[in-house]
Every structure is written in C-alpha cells, then in structure tokens.
Chains A and B, each alone.
Chain A
C-alpha cells in the first residue's frame, strides 16, 4: 500500500501548490505508515526534482516526456502507476488538470472521490475528509467508503511542512496511448501571474467605474507580484476578460491575500473568495456587504485611495 501524489510542473518548475501537495502526501503517508510516491509528468531538471525532498518526497517517478495534456491519456498514465505502486490514496491538485483527471481516475481505480478537500483527513479509519459545499455556504464532513481513495486538495488549506529527505528518482517512459482529441493550437498568457496560482490577487468591481481606470490596479498588482481579477458585472460589461471573473460561476480562488476594490460583495462573489486567507476591501459605501467578509477595510473613493495604496506598497517593497 502507498500514497501517490501527482504534481504538475509548469515550464519545468514547481510552484508552491506542488510543495503543499508533497507535504500533504508525506503527512498522509506517515499517518497511514505507508510509502509516499510522487508522480511528475514532464521534463524537469534533476535539481528541481531533488528539491521536493525538502517537503518529504522520498520516491519520485518522473515520466520525463512532454506529453500534451489529454484527460484520457493522463488518466491512463496515473492509474497505471497507482496500480503498480498499490496506492490506496491518490492525491491531486484541485487545479484545472487535477479536476479533469480525478473523476476519470476514480472510476478507473474503482475509488471513491472527494474533490476540493480542505486540509488533512479528519480521520483515516474511517477515511473522513472536510470540504465545502453550496459554494462555501456550508462545511461538509464526508466519508469515502471505498478501499482506494482519490482526493483533490484545495490550495492553501494544508500548508507546507519542511523535511530533509533525499528522494530516489525513477525516470520512466510513459507508453502513453494516442489521444482521441487533437490540439489545434495553444495560447499561453505570458508575463502575468495566474489567478489559480496567485498568492496575492488584486480584484476590481463596478466601483472602479470603467475599464480606463484599471491602470493603477494593474500597477498595484505588479508591485505585489499579484494576479488581477474582477467581479462578474465587470466581465459582463466587457471591461475585463471573462477569465478574470472571480465568483460562483467564474473562478473560485484561494490566495493568501485578496484585495476587493470597489466590489460590493454579492453573495456569488463571496462564494468565489471565501477561501482567501486575508481579504482587504476598499469601498465608498460603508454598508457594503464586502466588509462583513473582509479582514481589513477602508471606506473611501478608489480614485483617491488606490493611488495612495500603490505608492505606499511601492515604498514598502522598496524598503
């Protein structure tokens, strides 16, 4: 029996989310007294793989080919290793890829699936996990009753633990089967921090008054190394692209720090940001519901507050 964690490199590097997944796997494996296997698909340098030892990786399987992503193909690769290593717990990120693979993988392994779990299992026997439902309006304790379990872990819910393992690295070919889907083109947004991975998000709402006022917001994001986002009315109005829409029907995010600028805080928006560690709200209406979700609040007009914020954070970063 073992624990298998699948992590995704991006351009040959690992992000913080991957370290959290490795740490998580280490803690689950040690609680179950089982071996931990980390599976990486894609070409990654040896040092980068070795660095996972800091988070408790002892055994790493690296399929060192750049295989175009396909739900079925990746499910096949991961399930093969899961079977080979007799994994009874398989952990993935609750990322776009993790979400795509996990349900297929669960069926292929005859496993029960729990997605977007928060933190470590509440119990291992029976296997009980915590998660949210109704878009964050309720917490659920769920038991997975099958022998094999597949989980996707919500970002920033388990934290990173430091270790000093020197991992054994196995480099393997995938024997990947041909995919039924064909990629015609790929478009990658470069030079921007991604919403799904961002530690800090600067988000604007209707209170920004118009697309022409986004410059200072983008400046603030740049200073903080943050991703930019927006509320639904803003993307519906076409002020910002749809992929920036955070909320119930848009993206659900879980950064350490979320700035809600000129966002009133409709229940659908709050559903998308409720997993943020810290929320800072700026709004001219002191009664705006966003303040009941925020940790820190400023009442004021963005036209004057935002430039002051940008200046102050610039100074802070420079010091």
Chain B
C-alpha cells in the first residue's frame, strides 16, 4: 500500500491547478451565462498535453497514467466542468477506445490528431429512446459490402458540433440484438451528417451538446473498430473508463465547492463571529471533507486498478456513483453556506450545483451504477 503521489503526478496536478486558477477562471461565468464554447482553453489545454493524456507518446499522446488523469480532471473541474467534460470525452472515451481496440491504420489516421487535441472527438451512443438502455439502438449501419450505410439520430452528444471525429454506435444485425451492434469511426465532414441546434442546458452550459442526424452516410469498412458485432462490448468497456473521468469531474465539483465554502465561512461574519465558528456550518464542512476524501479515494482506486491492468468496472461504477452523489450534496450545501450570495452567479457555487446534477445523469445514471455494482455482487450477468 502506498498513498504517495510521484513527483510527476504532483507536477501534473499543479500544472492543471495553475491553468485552471489563472486562466480558466477568467470569464467562466460569462461562458456559462451565454453558453460560449471554451475554444481558446481547449486549444491551450491541448498544447499542454491534456487532451490526450493517457495516449502513448508513440501516437502523440502524453503517456500519463490514469492517476494523473484523475488529478488533472479534479483541478480543471473545480473551476470549469464544461471544459473538463470536453477533456473527459476526448481522453477516456474517444482516444481510449481507438488506442485500445483500433487497428494500426486507425490509430495513425485518427488517434494522432485526437491525442494532440487538434481534433476533438465525440462518442455517439445515446439516442432519443436509448439513453441508459444502450442495447436498443435504433441507428443502423447497414452492411453494403465495402462500406456501411449509416442512418439514425443520436442525442445529447458532447462535442457534437465541434468534434472532427465521431465514434458512432449503430445496429448492423438487429436480429442478433446487442451482439449485432458495431462501432464506426466517422469523419465529421462526411456527406449526410446534420447537427441539431445547441442544447440549452441547466448546467455545463458552455460545453457543446447537440443531436446529430445521419442520413445515408457512407462509412468505409476499415473504419469499423474490432470484429463485426463488437460495438456493444466496445461501448461498455469504454464507458467503464469514461466513468473514472466523470467521477473525477464530480470530485472536482465537490472539492471546489468545499474549498469555496471554507474560504467563505472564514470571511463571512454573522452575529458578530465568523460563520465558520458556528457549529452548524463547521460540521457541514467536516461532512464535506469526509465525502470529498471518500470520493477521491474511490476515484484513485479505480484509476490504480486500471493502471495495473486489473478489472476496474466495479470500482469505477462505485467511484462515479459516490462522487456524483457527493458533488450534488456538497454543492447544494455550499450554496446554503453562502446564503444569498450563494444564489447569485458571482460566487460560483450555484453554477457548481447545476453542473453537479449532470454527473448523476450522464455516462450512466446513478441508478445504472447501482445496477452495475449490485450485479457484480449478486453474480447476475
């Protein structure tokens, strides 16, 4: 057992913190209010190596471990979860998926620009009638010999408009159920793709969420990842890692809200003393700290298992569930500690609260995480 971080891990954490606290914080409220995509920051983070953190340097990535990724995600999410979700999707879904399951040609052609952050990726799984239930895909990828013909609609797609590369999950053999599903790498500028209007969301307002429609889009056969019918397994495997990213995002929201609460409680006075000296506030901060520590440990455990090459699906589900619930509770209580100030945008915590809500929903709702965890324990597969 060793709870020490390496010097590199600490440096990455510091670099992410410096970037977030110096640069990302500027205009974050403005970006949230007007749903402005943080293109300048995505570019800067790409140059620092945050867009392909865990990809091997052989494919232009930074070659970092998952622990470093968790530390960086936490720091970025403390300040701006809209930016960190862009980072998370690119890193742990798209880059991971292509690097681990793609062919050498696919890696050369698609992974390199994604790892450099020159292109951003999107992961297209959710559909109007298939959110949590990924087996009931309506989007079809009809086998036409040397290409697939893609038809259907995907919903709530992060990076839906800005992405240059899509990973699309679609049904090729409906009769085979989830074993008939494929995953295809699709160029954003292929003919037949149209992108719906920007979703006007409650939180994560500056990330770019859209529905994407495919009408007779031709996708070359060599763009299929894995064997015919590998798509569902691909999605499940990739989402296991994706959950670590979102868990770390929720952790950042939680610890960010806690840090703001501690600072505020020491400055703000009520009835003649700092509110930190009121036990009702002090105990709330203690509970926040316990939850943050637990969430962090669960995230790091899942990351460690993944780095060790051990199964981590169960651990990442637990981390995601716990961190998301902790983020929701802590951000809500942070608003309460801030009182009237907490309810106005200037103090950030109301935004963190709106953002935290999404971590309980996307990349597997809290309920789905409980299904994953309970099935593991009850041996239901």
Contact = CB atoms under 8 A, between A and B. Distances in A.
- Asked if the two chains touch in their complex, CB atoms less than 8 Å apart, one says yes
A284 to B, nearest CB: 11
A287 interface: yes
Nearest to B268: A287
A287 B269 CA distance: 8
A297 interface: no
Interface in A278-294: 287, 289
Size class of the A contact interface (CB-based, 8 Å): under 10
A287 B268 CA distance: 6
Main secondary structure of the interface of A (DSSP, over half): loop
A287 B270 CA distance: 11
Interface in A56-91: none
Contacts of B267: 287, 289
Contacts of A287: 267-269
A302 to B, nearest CB: 16
Nearest to B269: A287
A166 to B, nearest CB: 56
Interface in B250-290: 267-269
A289 B266 CA distance: 10
A289 B267 CA distance: 7
B275 to A, nearest CB: 10
Contacts of B269: 287
A89 to B, nearest CB: 44
A289 B269 CA distance: 11
B303 to A, nearest CB: 34
Interface in A66-119: none
Contacts of A289: 267
B105 to A, nearest CB: 47
A50 B115 CA distance: 74
Contacts of B268: 287
A248 to B, nearest CB: 15
B272 to A, nearest CB: 14
Interface string A22-49: 0000000000000000000000000000
A318 to B, nearest CB: 39
Nearest to B22: A236
A74 B46 CA distance: 50
Nearest to B346: A285
A289 B268 CA distance: 9
A256 B81 CA distance: 45
A287 B267 CA distance: 7
B115 to A, nearest CB: 32
B301 to A, nearest CB: 36
A237 to B, nearest CB: 9
B19 to A, nearest CB: 15
A241 to B, nearest CB: 20
Interface in B198-219: none
Nearest to A288: B267
B94 to A, nearest CB: 35
A185 B268 CA distance: 51
A46 to B, nearest CB: 54
B342 to A, nearest CB: 13
Interface string B342-354: 0000000000000
A121 B187 CA distance: 75
B2 to A, nearest CB: 34
A120 to B, nearest CB: 37
B260 to A, nearest CB: 14
B151 to A, nearest CB: 50
B28 to A, nearest CB: 14
B210 to A, nearest CB: 33
A268 to B, nearest CB: 13
B183 to A, nearest CB: 45
A208 to B, nearest CB: 16
B265 to A, nearest CB: 11
A287 B264 CA distance: 9
A17 to B, nearest CB: 35
B276 to A, nearest CB: 13
A83 to B, nearest CB: 48
Nearest to A292: B267
A209 B336 CA distance: 28
A299 to B, nearest CB: 14
A167 to B, nearest CB: 53
Interface string A271-314: 00000000000000001010000000000000000000000000
A209 to B, nearest CB: 13
A271 B267 CA distance: 18
A133 B268 CA distance: 28
Nearest to A236: B26
A289 B274 CA distance: 13
B380 to A, nearest CB: 54
B173 to A, nearest CB: 58
A111 B246 CA distance: 60
A53 to B, nearest CB: 51
A167 B268 CA distance: 57
Nearest to A287: B268
A307 to B, nearest CB: 24
B40 to A, nearest CB: 15
A79 B125 CA distance: 78
4 contacts: A287-B267, A287-B268, A287-B269, A289-B267
Q: Which 4 A-B pairs have the closest CB atoms?
A: A287-B268, A287-B267, A289-B267, A287-B269
